[in-house]
């Protein structure tokens, strides 16, 4: 569970409620609850996104919200250590000895790469198969990120459509001066909803998915470099030096003298 994302969202939501209530009691929040406004803003924006995507992509996009609360299992330092172990194994007992070690590997991408070199696949082909996979993983993720970015753009757009409808209705009949204020307040609620949808929910989700994607792609690139180095029979110390370039100075400290061969 990634606490930061959850806390960030709760803080934002809480402060909004706090701003609405002001010094008054919680009943003040009711001024900000309006079902028709919610329907036109959220419904309109979601309808719009639905019409932009094949149904499967729409459902898939919605589901990705759960990902932002998960901490990814894989980890660069661990992955590099695994690669160094495998390279030591391969130098001692040959590439074929890697086959059984794949049973203990958790990452499917890593497993696939090791299987390819165990099968004696040509290095160029190994690289092109694994890179095609990275490109396609990235494309699928970008499509999910796009889902949330589009929703972040459509929220304020439909909020404005709702506000325009409210304003036009209000302006058509100004005979009762006392109703002007409250009517305008209701008209503004859709703008608020659209703004909250974009800035509290969608933009953070899109950004978080982007960070997770960047990390996953970088991790897979580390794996490709490692797998090809194992296949080339490179010295585990050189492999370690090469892969440590991917780490930040802090992460590198995780490698003591015991890290290498």
Q: Judged by CB under 8 A, does residue 99 bind its own copies?
A: no
In this structure, what DSSP letter does residue 23 have? Answer: T
Nearer to its own copies, 93 or 211 (CB): 211
Q: Where in 43-72 is the site for its own copies (CB under 8 A)?
A: 43-44, 46-55, 57-58, 68, 71
In 10 A of CB 185, how many CB atoms?
14
What's the closest the beta carbon of residue 101 comes to its own copies, in angstroms? Answer: 20
Q: Judged by CB under 8 A, does residue 207 bind its own copies?
A: yes
Pick one of 33, 96, 232, 238: the residue that binds its own copies (CB under 8 A). Answer: 238
Cβ atoms of 116 and 129 closer than 8 Å:
yes
In this structure, what DSSP letter does residue 2 have? Answer: -
What's the closest the beta carbon of residue 90 comes to its own copies, in angstroms? Answer: 19
What's the closest the beta carbon of residue 145 comes to its own copies, in angstroms? Answer: 12
What's the closest the beta carbon of residue 92 comes to its own copies, in angstroms? Answer: 23
Task: Report CA Rg, the chain.
Answer: 26
Alpha carbon 216 to its chain's center: 10
Nearer to its own copies, 7 or 96 (CB): 7
CA separation for the pair 51, 46 (Å, rounded): 9
Pick one of 78, 91, 216, 246: the residue that binds its own copies (CB under 8 A). Answer: 246
Dihedral in degrees, nearest 10, Cα atoms 138, 139, 142, 147: -140
Q: Show contacts of 60-67: CB within 8 Å, 24+ apart.
A: 60/144, 61/143, 61/144, 61/147, 61/148, 62/147, 64/144, 64/147, 64/148, 64/205, 64/209, 65/205, 67/209, 67/212
CA separation for the pair 145, 142 (Å, rounded): 5
Q: Judged by CB under 8 A, does residue 232 bind its own copies?
A: no
Nearer to its own copies, 105 or 129 (CB): 129
Instruction: Show the binding pattern over residues 106-145: x = contacts its own copies (CB under 8 A), - = does not.
Output: --x-------x----x---x--xxx-xx--x--xx--x--
CA separation for the pair 190, 192 (Å, rounded): 5
Nearer to its own copies, 93 or 136 (CB): 136
Nearer to its own copies, 81 or 208 (CB): 208
Q: Where in 159-198 is the site for its own copies (CB under 8 A)?
A: 160-162, 164-174, 178, 180-182, 184-185, 188-189, 191-192, 195-196, 198
Nearer to its own copies, 69 or 89 (CB): 69
In 10 A of CB 209, how many CB atoms?
23
């Amino acid at each position: 569970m990634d606490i930061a994302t959850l806390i960030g969202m709760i803080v934002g939501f809480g402060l909004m409620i706090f701003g609405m209530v002001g010094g008054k009691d919680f009943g003040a929040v009711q001024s900000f609850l309006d079902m028709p406004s919610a329907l036109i803003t959220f419904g309109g924006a979601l309808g719009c996104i639905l019409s932009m995507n094949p149904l499967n992509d729409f459902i898939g996009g919605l589901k990705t919200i759960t990902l932002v609360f998960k901490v990814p299992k894989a980890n660069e330092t661990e992955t590099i250590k695994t690669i160094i172990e495998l390279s030591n194994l391969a130098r001692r007992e040959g590439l074929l000895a890697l086959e059984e070690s794949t049973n203990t590997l958790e990452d499917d991408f890593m497993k696939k790469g090791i299987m390819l070199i165990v099968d004696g696949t040509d290095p160029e082909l190994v690289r092109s198969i694994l890179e095609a996979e990275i490109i396609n993983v990235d494309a699928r993720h970008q499509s999910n990120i796009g889902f949330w970015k589009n929703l972040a753009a459509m929220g304020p757009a439909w909020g404005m459509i709702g506000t325009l409808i409210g304003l036009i209705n209000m302006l058509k009949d100004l005979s009762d001066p006392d109703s002007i204020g409250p009517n305008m307040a209701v008209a503004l609620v859709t703008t608020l909803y659209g703004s909250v949808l974009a800035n509290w929910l969608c933009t953070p989700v899109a950004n978080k998915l982007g960070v997770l994607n960047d990390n996953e792609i970088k991790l897979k690139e580390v794996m490709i470099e490692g797998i090809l180095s194992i296949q080339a029979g490179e010295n585990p110390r050189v492999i370690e030096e090469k892969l440590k370039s991917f780490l930040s100075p802090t992460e590198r400290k995780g490698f003591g003298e015991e890290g290498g061969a």
